[in-house]
């Protein structure tokens, strides 16, 4: 007998299971609109040309070795990541009150910040508010570290846009000092972001209620193609002197999915408080990963700290962002041509990797069973999976399932 006999089997992760089902499908017209990973117009993963360049520079660098990184990670990478999100002219950076911790990509950065809050956030019984809907891992991570999770309204199914009133209302009524997890740009799964004006209103309430701001930034530069525009919300909050955490992922904007390059940027009230927080996170990080992996952070570091490579990266970002924006337009045009029932302008208005189509779970099932088009049950499609070769087919399938 085994001591583990009574361990119940856990369900498979929905999104990775969807990818596996797509891969196993042998239909020639199959389409993967599931996982949030960039694809070229040929439906292939893309190694960014600037990443290839950095790669070659590293291979030829005889000074690189495989020694451990420090517990908090590669110092110049951490600083470059903080500067990328807060801006080169950030007052908080100039004041010396910005900390940074290299983490296991965006997921690890959310976990690291959440674990710190579970241990050191002083508001007794504070709960974490996540958007409804959100990336499924948010709930799993916060509940995993013992912080209860609640939801704030976000998606308005009628307008297929932002439910600002619901969001602000929940922020107003939440107990003072609650934790709010916010997506700074390219909201996953809805593709709906607040406008700069709306972000100011959100910041007003966050300040008035003394809530703690936790940004999860997985798509900087990937949403609009412009790094500063995608960082507006974070920079606005920081400029107003708000203490905050930002989890940063370099999976999407560098195409470094498997390399787990990420960072947690910490904006604290004073340099001393920043040091206190970093020291506690170093202590926790030692017990979880001991020290982070080097490869991805070295690539990001090379690119961010070299003006020429940095420019090339921005061009690569535009290539990705613009192809996705073009595909939004193409899908919208096809649906319009077909006279598909309903309003579809949300497809072009939404931003980033995903579009929240409004398709029901039943319709999603027909998309999969009849058309071999794979998307998540909530009707979210990864725009990166659409290309000039399959956009007609996808539009026809959508047209069929909504009629």
At which residue do the structure tokens 């911790």 appear?
Answer: 101
Give the nearest distance from C-beta 302 to ligand PLP in angstroms.
19
List the catalytic residues: 135, 216, 252
Task: Pick from 34, 73, 106, 113 the residue near ligand PLP by CB under 6 A.
Answer: 106
Q: Is 99 in the site for ligand PLP (CB under 6 A)?
A: no
Q: Is 297 in the site for ligand PLP (CB under 6 A)?
A: no
Q: Is 216 in the site for ligand PLP (CB under 6 A)?
A: yes
Please count the residues of this chain forming the interface with ligand PLP, following the rule CB under 6 A: 13
Three-state DSSP state, 340: coil
Strands 128-132 and 149-153: parallel
Check if the beta carbon of residue 341 is closer than 8 Å to that of residue 402.
yes
Q: Of 71, 102, 140, which Cα lies nearest the Cα of 247?
A: 102
Give the nearest distance from C-beta 94 to ligand PLP in angstroms.
28
Largest CA distance in the chain: 64
Decide whether 382 or 387 has the Cβ nearer to ligand PLP.
Answer: 382
Task: Pick from 82, 218, 268, 395 the residue near ligand PLP by CB under 6 A.
Answer: 218
Using the contact rule CB under 6 A, the part of the chain among 105-113, 168-176, 287-295, 309-317 near ligand PLP is 105-113
Using the contact rule CB under 6 A, the part of the chain among 104-112, 143-151, 205-213, 362-370 near ligand PLP is 104-112
Q: Is 178 in the site for ligand PLP (CB under 6 A)?
A: no
- Residue 344 has which token pair? 């579809």
Q: Is 378 in the site for ligand PLP (CB under 6 A)?
A: no
Task: Pick from 102, 115, 213, 249 the residue near ligand PLP by CB under 6 A.
Answer: 249
Alpha carbon distance 85, 384 (integer Å): 24
- Residue 15 has which token pair? 């999104």
Q: Of 49, 53, 46, which Cα lies nearest the Cα of 302?
A: 53
C-alpha distances in Å from residue 248, one per residue of 123, 145, 206: 25, 19, 21
Check if the beta carbon of residue 155 is closer than 8 Å to that of residue 192.
yes
- Residue 165 has which token pair? 């009133």
Strands 380-382 and 354-356: antiparallel
Torsion angles phi and psi, residue 234, rounded to 5: -65, -45
Give the nearest distance from C-beta 390 to ligand PLP in angstroms.
22
Alpha carbon distance 332, 350 (integer Å): 12
Task: Pick from 188, 224, 376, 378 the residue near ligand PLP by CB under 6 A.
Answer: 188
> What does the per-residue mask of binding to ligand PLP show for 255-284, with x meaning CB under 6 A?
--x----x----------------------
Burial level of 236, CB count in 10 A (0-12/13-18/19+)?
A: middle
Decide whether 103 or 397 has the Cβ nearer to ligand PLP.
Answer: 103
Task: Pick from 46, 135, 154, 222 the residue near ligand PLP by CB under 6 A.
Answer: 135
Give the nearest distance from C-beta 257 to ligand PLP in angstroms.
6
Using the contact rule CB under 6 A, the part of the chain among 43-51, 90-98, 100-108, 302-310 near ligand PLP is 100-108
Q: Is 107 in the site for ligand PLP (CB under 6 A)?
A: yes
Alpha carbon distance 248, 250 (integer Å): 7
Q: Of 136, 116, 135, which Cα lies nearest the Cα of 126?
A: 116
> What does the per-residue mask of binding to ligand PLP show for 6-45, with x meaning CB under 6 A?
------------------------------x---------
The contact set with ligand PLP (CB under 6 A) reads: 36, 105-107, 135, 183, 188, 216, 218, 249, 251, 257, 262
């Amino acid at each position: 007998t085994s001591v583990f006999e009574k361990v119940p089997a856990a369900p498979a992760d929905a999104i990775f299971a969807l990818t596996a089902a797509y891969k196993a499908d042998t239909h020639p017209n199959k389409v993967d609109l599931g996982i949030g990973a960039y694809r070229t117009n040929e439906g292939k993963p893309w190694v960014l040309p600037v990443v290839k360049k950095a790669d070659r520079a590293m291979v030829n660098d005889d000074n690189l070795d495989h020694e451990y990184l420090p517990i908090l990670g590669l110092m110049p990478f951490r600083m470059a990541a903080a500067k990328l999100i807060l801006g080169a002219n950030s007052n908080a950076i100039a004041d010396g009150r910005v900390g940074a911790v290299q983490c296991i990509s965006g997921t690890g950065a959310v976990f690291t910040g959440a674990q710190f809050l579970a241990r050191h956030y002083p508001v007794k019984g504070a709960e974490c508010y996540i958007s409804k809907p959100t990336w499924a891992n948010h709930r799993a991570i916060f509940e995993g570290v013992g912080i209860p999770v609640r939801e704030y309204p976000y998606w308005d199914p009628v307008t297929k846009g932002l439910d600002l009133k619901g969001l602000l209302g929940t922020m107003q009524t939440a107990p003072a000092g609650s934790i709010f997890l916010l997506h700074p740009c390219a909201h996953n799964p809805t593709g709906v972001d607040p406008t700069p004006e709306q972000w100011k209103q959100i910041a007003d309430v966050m300040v008035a209620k003394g809530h703690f701001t936790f940004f999860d930034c997985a798509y900087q530069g990937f949403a609009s193609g412009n790094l500063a525009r995608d960082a507006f919300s974070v920079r606005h909050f920081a400029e107003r002197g708000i203490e905050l955490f930002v989890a940063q992922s370099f999976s999407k904007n560098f195409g470094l999915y498997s390399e787990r390059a990420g960072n947690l940027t910490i904006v604290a009230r004073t340099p001393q408080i920043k040091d206190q927080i970093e020291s506690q996170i170093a202590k926790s990080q030692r017990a979880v990963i001991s020290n982070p992996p080097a490869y991805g952070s070295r690539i990001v570091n090379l690119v961010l700290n070299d003006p020429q490579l940095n420019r090339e990266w921005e061009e690569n970002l535009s290539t990705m962002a613009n192809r996705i924006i073009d595909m939004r337009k193409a899908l919208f045009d096809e649906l319009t041509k077909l006279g598909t029932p309903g309003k579809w302008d949300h497809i072009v208005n939404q931003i980033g990797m995903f579009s929240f189509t409004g398709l029901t779970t039943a319709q999603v099932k027909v998309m999969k069973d009849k058309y071999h088009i794979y998307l998540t049950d909530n009707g979210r499609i990864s725009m990166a999976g659409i290309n000039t070769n399959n956009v007609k087919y996808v539009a026809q399938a959508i047209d069929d399932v909504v009629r």
